[in-house]
Structure 1
Amino acid sequence: MNVNRRRLLVGAGGTLLGLGVGAGNAFAAPDQLGVTEIARLTAGQGALNATDTKWGIHGTDLGHMFMHKGRIAMVFGDTLGGPAADDFWSVPHEDWRSNCMAWIDPPSSPGKGLLLSEMVTDRPGHAKELLSSKKVDGDETTVIPTYGVAVRDRLFLHYMSVKQWGAPGHWTLNHSGLAYSDDNGQNWTKDKDLIWPGDSNFGQVAIVESRGFLYFFGIPGGRYAGVQLARVHPHRILAHEDYEYWDGQWWTRSRASAATIVPPNVGELSVRWNSYYRRWLMMYLDDPNGQIHLRTAAQLTGPWSDPKIVTTSAQYPSLYSPYITPLWNDGPDIWFTMSVFRSYGVLLLRTSLSRTRTTPPA
């Protein structure tokens, strides 16, 4: 089965020109922070993890992360089997799974990459599809997890049910929602009541736990809108009526009153606290310009700084989905995963804001 992946063909700034630079190379233009590529994590030339031979994964993307019992859960999007190809999309592929998940036993430092310790499987040597999809274009093309979180022993994945891929960087959703697992990710249940409508600004999210709340940074389906913010107590995560939305001044139960805290154009995003800079960091794709952006804020509600350019499609054609790691956020290095479409894999990179601490917030 072939999978239609037009959403991953990024916009004007990210045309498919070739592959990124090799591991260990650093790059910086005057207006960029600069990045160092640490490793390709998933199958492909020089990949750190042999996901093709171990779990039948020749191509996959995303790789957002959350912690559970001292381990890192890494969640992927549409996942395909062989055959291998330098230009992944030059040949048809079979064995389409809409999503899958790996476990990582975290090293003391990610400086040499991240080894996938194990994968959730449905049979020996085969990564399991966690959340099923109809795989019918115009009905439910696929189901993509956009972020995860653990609440005590239960795992949650926020997902989007994609109705149809549109023009590059645009797609429509049936709805988004939450799924949960009580057996360390082996089996999942899509909650029938916790649903956001297809046109909601919470079609895709980044989830942050802070001061007794889970914060959901939301964007709609696609990559051309701004960010809104919701929060809920962790033990009420499945209670839609308990979600509160930031209206620019305070919290309200009205989703329609949610303010835009970061303006368009925001694609897949992640948010983490960095104790070295003493700031919240937000990283996301700016699709029309083919850039990965980084903003900072003293408070989750903002104000968020003007964006800094982390890297661009000039270095990594068809780049998208930057996800800051859940660990190692206590120094000047900012570690993150990023996907590349042409070779269809997940990379680990690092960048840095400055070697000088930011003034602590008041």
Structure 2
Amino acid sequence: MAQSGTYLCDNQGDSAAGFGLGSGDLGIPFQLPDGTWGYVFGDCFTGQEATDPYLGSPVMVYQNTFDASGQTPITFTGSQPSPTVAQLFTYQHRADNGFGVEVSRIPNDAIALRKDGRDRLFIQYTSVAQWVAPGSADDGSLQGGVAYSDDGGASWRDFDQHWPGSVKGSNGSPELMWSFAGVDPDGHLYIFSKPWNGSHNFAGDGGRIQLFRFKPEDFFDGNFAARENWVYQDNTWQWLPAATAAATQIFATGNNIGEFSVKRIGEVYVLSYFDTTDYSIRTRTAARPDQTWSEPKTQVVGDRGLSVSRWRSPVLKNLYGGYIHPGSTDSSNLTLIISAWDGTAGHRPYTATQWSGLSA
């Protein structure tokens, strides 16, 4: 049976607990250079209550082998560091670490690249200044950054360039939440990005997603000036140097979008995202990153009661996230990692669940 809401953490005695991870959200999957898998979590606790000791963000665990069929639950086989997880980045929460006061650094995606025989891991993250209230005109961000590790995740440092957020005068910047779609057969690393809406409450999000690309070797070195943007100009879509033209949003302004994920699965690209207006995890597909995307398909809903069309949809209350597992077999058999939060006293604060067998 394909997994349908299998808990990856937040269960006493499970594989995550064996490495000191009680509860955490996101669980962003990516493949390591040796073929094993990493899972990057956001805010994490040692137990199943928000009153338990706080581990930090981000946190990472490993898995030796992923069952792409989705029939076997994801089981963690290692942690960073070993044998007990700890926060990957060196910084203090609710403090000024040299950039301004930040509440937390929330990971948005991760990828591994190789250059000249050297392996490097990357995590793109948003530094959060404050969690904003529903309908907020402010996204609550401090800045975005890219951290990298040359020792398999044991230590991390930031590239010098950071992308300013709301506190630094760029409210609603489309540069703050990235998803690494992967290195295409054409040799480019494709990346999608959007405004920070990890609070799910930023009213100005509008579903604005943009696309850009790098040669992997340029990105490896942090040569962000080599970026090319996907731009609609002179009545046509075209790739242009980022220094000459800003990227154009690829969808018409519409629903708000929280966490999102884009990956090349088989021969197609799949986009998954938390639609905060529809209160669901939805997917789209495209033959290439810079081609037309399909209409959204609802996969998992937070509440069936919104319309008759949702009555047969699987349900996960308080859902968000929706990260595509890059080890999925194809777009007709996807594995998504979907989070849930329950702020009620005595309930799980954060968890991540496995949903397999989904068709985009």
TM norm structure 1: 0.79
Q: 1:168 to 1:75 in 2, by over 3 A?
A: farther
Task: Specify the SS of the correspondent of 1:267.
Answer: strand
Aligned residue number for residue 93 of structure 1: 52
Deviations 1:36-79 (A, max 9, x none): 5152111226x7x3323x23222101011211221111111111
- Aligned partner of 1:163: which letter? A
- Aligned partner of 2:123: which letter? L
CA contact (8 A) 1:43 1:50 kept: no
Distance 1:214 1:41 in 2: 29
Is 1:127 the counterpart of 2:85? The answer is yes
1:204 pairs, out of 156, 160, 177, with 177
Deviations 1:207-227 (A, max 9, x none): 022121111110111153311
Task: Specify the SS of the correspondent of 2:291.
Answer: coil
Aligned residue number for residue 306 of structure 2: none
2:218 pairs, out of 236, 251, 257, with 236
1:142 pairs, out of 79, 101, 104, with 104
CA contact (8 A) 1:44 1:345 kept: no
Distance 1:61 1:158 in 2: 16
Is 1:352 the counterpart of 2:312? The answer is no
Deviations 1:284-304 (A, max 9, x none): 000122111111112202311
Distance 2:300 2:87 in 1: 31
Aligned residue number for residue 122 of structure 2: 156
Q: 1:95 to 1:267 in 2, by over 3 A?
A: closer
Aligned residue number for residue 6 of structure 1: none
Aligned residue number for residue 325 of structure 1: 325
Bigger shift: 154-163 or 222-231?
Answer: 222-231
Task: Specify the SS of the correspondent of 1:262.
Answer: coil
Bigger shift: 93-102 or 256-265?
Answer: 256-265
Distance 1:125 1:144 in 2: 23
- Aligned partner of 2:88: which letter? L
Q: 1:318 to 1:168 in 2, by over 3 A?
A: farther
1:297 pairs, out of 286, 293, 312, with 286
- Aligned partner of 1:316: which letter? L
Question: Which residues of structure 2 form unaligned runs of 5+?
Answer: 304-314, 343-347
CA contact (8 A) 2:25 2:351 kept: yes
Distance 1:351 1:301 in 2: 26
Distance 1:75 1:330 in 2: 22
Counterpart mapping for 1:1-150 below 5 A: 37=4, 39-44=6-11, 49-52=14-17, 54-68=18-32, 69-82=34-47, 84=48, 88-89=49-50, 92-109=51-68, 110-121=70-81, 125-136=83-94, 139-150=101-112
Q: Sequence identity, in percent? A: 28
Is 1:287 the counterpart of 2:271? The answer is no
CA contact (8 A) 2:124 2:178 kept: yes
Bigger shift: 132-141 or 329-338?
Answer: 132-141
Task: Specify the SS of the correspondent of 1:126.
Answer: coil
Task: Specify the SS of the correspondent of 1:42.
Answer: coil
Question: Which residues of structure 1 form unaligned runs of 5+?
Answer: 1-23, 25-34, 355-362
Is 1:269 the counterpart of 2:246? The answer is no
**Relative contact order higher in (CA < 8 Å, ≥ 6 apart):** 1
Distance 1:107 1:98 in 2: 24
TM norm structure 2: 0.79
Q: 1:352 to 1:58 in 2, by over 3 A?
A: closer
Is 1:180 the counterpart of 2:148? The answer is yes
Q: 1:147 to 1:303 in 2, by over 3 A?
A: same
CA contact (8 A) 2:264 2:326 kept: no
Aligned residue number for residue 217 of structure 1: 192
Work out the number of aligned pairs and report it.
307
Distance 2:296 2:155 in 1: 39
Q: 1:331 to 1:241 in 2, by over 3 A?
A: closer
* Superposed displacement of residue 332, structure 1: 2.5
Deviations 1:123-178 (A, max 9, x none): x6431211233311782000111111111111111111111110148642211111
Distance 1:169 1:336 in 2: 28
Task: Specify the SS of the correspondent of 2:217.
Answer: helix
Distance 1:127 1:155 in 2: 17
CA contact (8 A) 1:310 1:351 kept: no
Question: Over the residues paired in the alignment, what is the CA RMSD in angstroms?
Answer: 2.2
Aligned residue number for residue 191 of structure 1: 159
